[in-house]
Amino acid sequence: MNTQIDTVKLFTDYIYKVEKSKQFPTITRDAKISSLGIDSLGMMEIIGCFEDDLGIVIPDDKLATIQTVGDIEKVIMGQMASKLSN
């Protein structure tokens, strides 16, 4: 079972999908979302992209814990794991 997901690459794809006309700094795992220049509305859409492509649902209370791109990965892995165990 391979649950490796390249969160950084996906995030980069999504951010340009959501904000077509903007330029963003290079995305890294440690990148703080608040410093990227994408607001929570854009961020929500990115989360929506992850949900759709990975077939998971990220609960609202988990959203509040996300600060970096790496945090998204943690949350996603958690959800994937609980999905697989169900």
Partner 1 sequence: METLVDILRTRALTDPDGIAYIFLKGSEECKITYAQLDLEARRVAKLLEGQGSSALICHLPGLEYIYSFFGCLYAGVIAIPIYPPRFNQKLDRLSAIVSEIDVKCALISQSVLENVKPLLSEQPNLSQVKFIKTDLPHSLTANDLPFLQPEITGQSLAFLQFTSGSTSQPKGVMLTHANLINNLQAIHEKFESSKDSVGVIWLPPYHDMGLIGGILQPLYIGFPIFLMSPYSFLQRPMRWLQAVSQYKATISGAPNFAFDLCTKRITDEQAATLDLSSWKLAFCGAETVHAHVLENFYQKFKVAGFKKEAFYPCYGLAEATLIVSGGVKDKAVIVESFDATAIESQGRAVKSSVDLKSSRSYVGCGTAPKKYSIKIVDPITLKSLPDGAVGEIWFTGPSVAQGYWGRSEESERTFKAKIAGDSETNYLRTGDLGFLQGDELFVAGRIKDLLIIRGRNLYPQDIEKSVGESHPGLVSGTSAAFSIEFQGEEKLVVVQELDRRDAKPELLQEKSTEFIELIRKKIFEDHDLPVHAIALVKSHSIPITSSGKVQRQATRRLFLDNALPELRRFQEGVQVSS
List the interface residues with partner 1, window 7-36 (CB under 8 A): 21-22, 33-35
51 contributes a contact to partner 1 by CB under 8 A? yes
* Residue 75: φ, ψ to 5°: -65, -45
Question: Which residues, in sequence order, are CB contacts of 78 under 8 Å at separation 6+?
Answer: 62
Whose Cβ is closer to partner 1: residue 5's or residue 49's? 49
Cβ atoms of 75 and 58 within 8 Å: the answer is yes
52 contributes a contact to partner 1 by CB under 8 A? yes
Whose Cβ is closer to partner 1: residue 1's or residue 25's? 25
